[in-house]
Amino acid sequence: MDILVYLIPVSLVLGLLGLVGFLWALRSRQYEDLEGAAARILFDDDPRKETPK
């Protein structure tokens, strides 16, 4: 049972990390365009331009 002393904190910390990640993603609006992101990842051509010529 001593193993619980390690396992429970570890699982809690991992869970909290996931929660913080989720809240961060929510705050930075990564859930605003789910469909667009799903389609965009499949286009493998490079962006034509990022900086002005």
Partner 1 sequence: MSLVGRTRPVVPNAISAAACAHCGARLAPGQVRFCCSGCEGAHGLVAGLGLDAFYRRQETEAGTLRPETAALALDLAPFVAAERDGVQRLDLVVSGLTCGACVWLVEQALALEADVLSARASLATRRLSVTWRGDAGRANDLVRLLARLGFRAAPWSPACLRATEDAEGRALARALGIAGFGAMNIMLISVAVWVGGDMGPSLRHGLHWLAAMIGLPVVLVAGMPFYASAWAALRAGRPSMDMAVSLGVLATAAMSLSETIRNGPYTWFDGATMLLALLLAGRVFDRAARRRARQSVAELLALQEGLVTRLLANGRSEAVPAEAIAAGDRVLVAAGERLRLDGSSKAATLLDAAATTGESVPRAFAAGDALPAGAVNMGAAFTMVVSAAAKDGSLAAMARLLERAEQAKGRFVAIADRASRLYVPVVHAVAAATFALWWGVLDAPWQVALVNAVCVLLITCPCALALAVPAVQVVAVGALFRRGVLVTSATALERLATADHAVLDKTGTLTEGRPVLLPEGQDDAVLARAAGLARASRHPLAQSLARACPDAPLAEGVHEVAGQGLEAGDARLGSPGFVGLPPSSDGMTLAFRDGDRAPVLFRFADRMRDDAPAAVASLAALGLPAELLSGDGEGAVAALAWQAGIAEWRAGADPVAKQARIAALMAQGRHPLMVGDGINDAAALAAAHVSASPAGATDLAQTAADLVLQRDGLAMLPATVRIARRAQAVARQNIGFSVGYNVLAVPLAVAGVVTPLVAAVVMASSSIIVVLNALRAGKD
The residue ranges that bind partner 1 (CB under 8 A) are 1, 4, 8, 11-12, 15-16, 18-19, 22-23, 26, 31-36, 38-40, 42-45, 47-53
- The nearer residue to partner 1, 6 or 44, going by C-beta atoms, is 44
Pull the structure tokens for residue 49.
Answer: 């331009």
The closest of 18, 36, 35 to 26, measured between CA atoms, is: 18
CB of 30 to partner 1, least distance (A): 11
Q: Greatest CA span in the chain, whole angstroms?
A: 65
CB of 29 to partner 1, least distance (A): 9
Cα radius of gyration (the chain): 19
